Amino acid sequence: MPLLRPVTRGSPASSEAPMITSPVLRARFLALLLAALMVAVLVAIAPPAAEAAVKKPLDIVKVYYDPPGKDHSKNSHYTKEYIQVKNTGKKTLTLTGYVIRDNGPQKFTFPKGTKIAPGKTLTIRSGKAKNTSSTLHWNKSSYIWNNTGDTARLYTNKGKLLESCAYKGGTHKKATKKSVRTTTTTAFC
């Protein structure tokens, strides 16, 4: 907005507007004014980037939805697949009861007492293993994240949706309104 002010308020064209007597010049001036106004309106109504618009200290960073190689029905392979969340706020968060869901029936509830410090990430792997301070486990006997596309949703312990991250399988170099940027292994939420 500040960029537009000199054009509409402070420029010579604006202050000398009443002096313009030529119809051609007046038409040009009006066209310019109209263009400037349209730019101002577009800037005013343009929505902010989806990510920036969401006030959320806990953020889905990525879904490692298709680890390299063929899918094998083994726990050691299920644990390669994961979703990662990050604390983008300035305070340590207690995530007891926070929930992650896929686009189907899969649901992960953060265990009681789970904490995440500012700037830190937590990795939630699909298979079974012992949890650590930085890696939790969904403890499923299957993969969670569909290779052909899925949606990861993150909720607070009160059921408030913090983020919905939809991806398509394969490489998509640019995010769209419907899906995020991906490589063959990773969705960048």
Query: Which one of the spans 2-10, 36-44, 129-137, 139-147 is the region binding Ca ion (CB under 5 A)?
Result: 139-147
Query: Which one of the spans 63-71, 85-93, 132-140, 177-185 is the region binding Ca ion (CB under 5 A)?
Result: 63-71
Beta carbon of residue 187, minimum distance to Ca ion (angstroms, whole number) = 10
- DSSP labels for 57-98? SEEEEEEE-S-SS---SSHHHHTT-EEEEEE-SSS-EE-TT-
Instruction: Pick the closer one to Ca ion by CB: 11 or 185.
Output: 185
Distance CA 4, CA 20 (A): 22
Binding to Ca ion by residue 59, rule CB under 5 A?
A: yes
Cα 16 to its chain centre, rounded Å, is 47
H-helix or E-strand containing 122? strand 121-125
Question: Given candidates 121, 139, 147, 151, which one binds Ca ion under the rule CB under 5 A?
Answer: 147
Beta carbon of residue 2, minimum distance to Ca ion (angstroms, whole number) = 30
Binding to Ca ion by residue 145, rule CB under 5 A?
A: yes
Length of the chain in residues, anyone? 189
Beta carbon of residue 46, minimum distance to Ca ion (angstroms, whole number) = 21
Contacts of 59 by beta carbon, 8 Å cutoff, 6+ apart = 85, 86, 87, 88, 162, 163, 189
Binding to Ca ion by residue 60, rule CB under 5 A?
A: yes
| Nearest one of 160, 182, 158, 156 to 169, comparing CA atoms | 182
Binding to Ca ion by residue 143, rule CB under 5 A?
A: yes
Binding to Ca ion by residue 189, rule CB under 5 A?
A: yes
Q: Which residues of this chain interact with Ca ion, rule CB under 5 A? A: 59-60, 65-66, 143, 145, 147, 189
